[in-house]
Amino acid sequence: MQKSGQRAGRRRDGLSASVIVGAAIEILDADGEEALTFRALAARLATGSGAIYHYVANKDELLDAAAAELVGRIAGPSPAPAAADESVLALMLGVFDMINAHPWLGAQLSRKPWQTAILHVFESVGQRLESFAIPQESRFDVASALVNHMLGAAGQSAAGSRIAHGVGRSAFLKDVARDWTSRASPDEYPFVHAIAAQLAHHDDRQQFTAGVNLILAGVAALPQTGADRS
Amino acid sequence: MQKSGQRAGRRRDGLSASVIVGAAIEILDADGEEALTFRALAARLATGSGAIYHYVANKDELLDAAAAELVGRIAGPSPAPAAADESVLALMLGVFDMINAHPWLGAQLSRKPWQTAILHVFESVGQRLESFAIPQESRFDVASALVNHMLGAAGQSAAGSRIAHGVGRSAFLKDVARDWTSRASPDEYPFVHAIAAQLAHHDDRQQFTAGVNLILAGVAALPQTGADRS
DNA sequence: ACCTGAACACCGTTCAAGT
DNA sequence: ACCTGAACACCGTTCAAGT
């Protein structure tokens, strides 16, 4: 609710990379990705815009650090030794939920798939894949498919909340549905019409889960694989 | 090879939306997404930058149209009545290849997942899914998983060629691998280290195919589904 | 009706000048 | 060494003025 530039009381008490990244996350969360400018950031930190460059090389690196900070909070080492399926799904949903809580994160992750944040995700996914009996060469492929699924959903969520800001999610999806059905005739685009009807009242999270389960079911069907499903 | 602004001979012979979109695609293909500015576009079309706004609402719409134009060329109605699996895979690879041929396309698709281009993809995927015996409620989920996979790969490819411009793909991946292994210790990040070793000489296209097959195998394992695999 | 291109309101980034 | 903030080189977009 609060807009930019409150709390201008700070001084040269201690500018640092982590303070800058923290402030950046606050701006991103409060007002969205377009609100993060070096001028706004400098104002919030009560310093000059040039000062930021002493700690961060450029805006790309700043966003990279902000994303890694958030993802690092959930993509840590495997927690409870649950069943492999549930463990992977829990991780995927953890990232999914975090993206939904911080819409700018989805855009950032899908824009730069080799950033630090993705490294964490890959590692976490990979470790949880250990308990599956996946042939060594396939392991990378499976992790990649899961990460792709996540990045795809991330971009979707980011784009959605970017536009739906204030309109409300279901109203936005209704708009998309209307746009699609009006742009495409039912004869030529039967599938899109069928989908459009479901769009407004479908559950993103559930659909994301279905996708993960589809991939995991495919893994179970892999040759040489007798995964230890619970 | 050729930079901006050749062929400045045109005049008011006929500015139109399709001419503008065509010129935009030429610039994007030749010099990348950052080269597409209204000034550069106006120069190439030998007109004022404001004139473009008579046919295109803004840059977003311009990119939307450019992406739809390209995707429309391959995502048409189902071609040969091949086996369902092969048909879906062929479509997915068609989009994948087009993205690789036009790097800016990947970025554009993953940035705006509700644009016209994605509508075409959804429809094509959906139609090819007809021959599978997928329960009605699951059909949307399956299409969504496939599209997510594609969008994830699209972003990856776009980011890669954005940076690798000139460096060469394998050199770039070697850089990523070095960056990842140096940033992460082998004890804490064993999976990333294992992956990094494969990164430089892995086949993107093959990995993408593996992901599609994983999803399709998951579909075959779906309850109530006895897909007619060939 | 369509085109022109200067002008406006921004950006990220740099860098001389300060402390 | 660190900070400041004006200045630079761009953007997308608008709009009075032309044809």
Q: How many helices (H) and strands (E) in chain A?
A: 10, 0
Closest residue (Cα, C1') to C14: A50
Q: In percent, how much of chain A has pLDDT > 90?
A: 62
- pTM, whole model, 2 decimals? 0.89
Half-sphere exposure of B23 (CA within 13 A, CB side): 26
Q: How far is CA A48 from CA A22, A221, A229, B159, in A?
A: 17, 58, 56, 31
CB of B108 less than 8 A from some CB of A? no
* Whole-number pLDDT of residue B81: 64
Q: Which residue of A has its CA nearest to B78?
A: A188
> In angstroms, rounded to a whole number, what is the distance separating the alpha carbons of residues A209 and A215?
10
Residue with more model confidence, A8 or A200 = A200
Residue with more model confidence, B173 or A4 = B173
CA A215 to the chain's CA centroid = 19
Secondary structure (3-state) at A81: coil
CB of B39 less than 8 A from some CB of A? no
Highest mean predicted confidence (pLDDT) among A45-49, A71-75, A126-130, A175-179: A45-49
pLDDT interval class at A81 (50, 70, 90):
low
- A11 contact to strand C (CB, 7 A limit): no
B125 interaction partners in chain A (CB closer than 8 Å): 191
Q: How many CB pairs under 8 A join A and B?
A: 188
Strand C bases, protein C-beta under 7 A: 2-7, 10-16
* Whole-number pLDDT of residue A113: 86
pLDDT in tens, chain B (230 residues): 333 333 333 344 679 999 999 999 999 999 999 999 999 999 999 999 999 999 999 999 999 999 999 998 886 555 666 677 889 999 999 999 999 999 999 999 988 888 999 999 999 999 999 888 899 889 999 999 999 999 999 988 888 777 766 677 788 888 888 988 988 899 999 999 999 999 888 899 999 999 999 999 999 998 865 545 44
* Whole-number pLDDT of residue B73: 85
For B52, residues 6+ apart whose C-beta sits below 8 A from its C-beta are: B20, B38, B41, B42, B45, B62
Nearest nucleotide (C1') to alpha carbon of A60: C12
* Whole-number pLDDT of residue A165: 66
d(CA A224, nearest CA chain B) in Å:
14
pLDDT interval class at A62 (50, 70, 90):
very high
Res. A139: pLDDT tops 80:
yes
pLDDT interval class at A78 (50, 70, 90):
low
B169 interaction partners in chain A (CB closer than 8 Å): none
CB of B184 less than 8 A from some CB of A? yes
Where does residue A227 fall: left (phi above 0), alpha (psi -120 to 50 degrees), or beta otherwise?
A: beta
Strand D bases, protein C-beta under 7 A: 2-7, 10-16
Secondary structure (3-state) at B185: coil
CA B152 to the chain's CA centroid = 9
Q: How far is CA B210 from CA A12, A104, A142, B8, B205, in A?
A: 53, 30, 8, 46, 9
Could you say which residues 137-166 of protein chain B have a Cβ atom less than 7 A away from any atom in strand C? none
* Whole-number pLDDT of residue A9: 36
pLDDT interval class at A35 (50, 70, 90):
very high
Secondary structure (3-state) at B164: coil
Mean pLDDT over all residues of chain A?
Answer: 86
> In angstroms, rounded to a whole number, what is the distance separating the alpha carbons of residues A69 and A63?
10
Amino acid (one-letter) located at A149: H
Q: Which of A122, A145, A216 is nearest to B204 (CA)?
A: A145
Could you say which residues 97-136 of protein chain B have a Cβ atom less than 7 A away from any atom in strand C? none
Q: Which of A126, A141, A136 is nearest to B204 (CA)?
A: A141
Nearest nucleotide (C1') to alpha carbon of A51: D3
* Whole-number pLDDT of residue A39: 98
DSSP state, residue A55: T
Spatial distance from the CA of A48 to the C1' of C16 (Å): 14
Residue with more model confidence, B56 or A171 = B56
* Whole-number pLDDT of residue A77: 56
Res. A207: pLDDT tops 80:
yes
Least CB–CB distance from B153: residue in A119, A142, A148:
A148
d(CA B72, nearest CA chain A) in Å:
13
Residue A222 burial (CB count, 10 A):
20
CB of A210 less than 8 A from some CB of B? yes
d(CA A9, nearest CA chain B) in Å:
36
CB contact under 8 A, A126 and B198: no
For B122, residues 6+ apart whose C-beta sits below 8 A from its C-beta are: A191, A192, A195, B143, B147
- B50 contact to strand C (CB, 7 A limit): yes
Mutate to test the interface with A, among B60, B114, B224 (most CBs of A within 10 A): B114
* pLDDT tens column, A127-137: 999 888 898 88
Those of residues 112-131 in A touching chain B at CB distance below 8 A are 112-114, 116, 119, 122-123, 125-127, 129
Secondary structure (3-state) at A53: helix
CB contact under 8 A, B113 and A159: yes
Q: Which of A95, A201, A210, A209 is nearest to A158 (CA)?
A: A95
Mutate to test the interface with A, among B108, B123, B201 (most CBs of A within 10 A): B123
Spatial distance from the CA of B206 to the C1' of D12 (Å): 40
Query: Which residue shows structure tokens 């690798």?
Result: B164
> In angstroms, rounded to a whole number, what is the distance separating the alpha carbons of residues B211 and A149?
9
pLDDT interval class at A200 (50, 70, 90):
confident
* Whole-number pLDDT of residue B76: 58
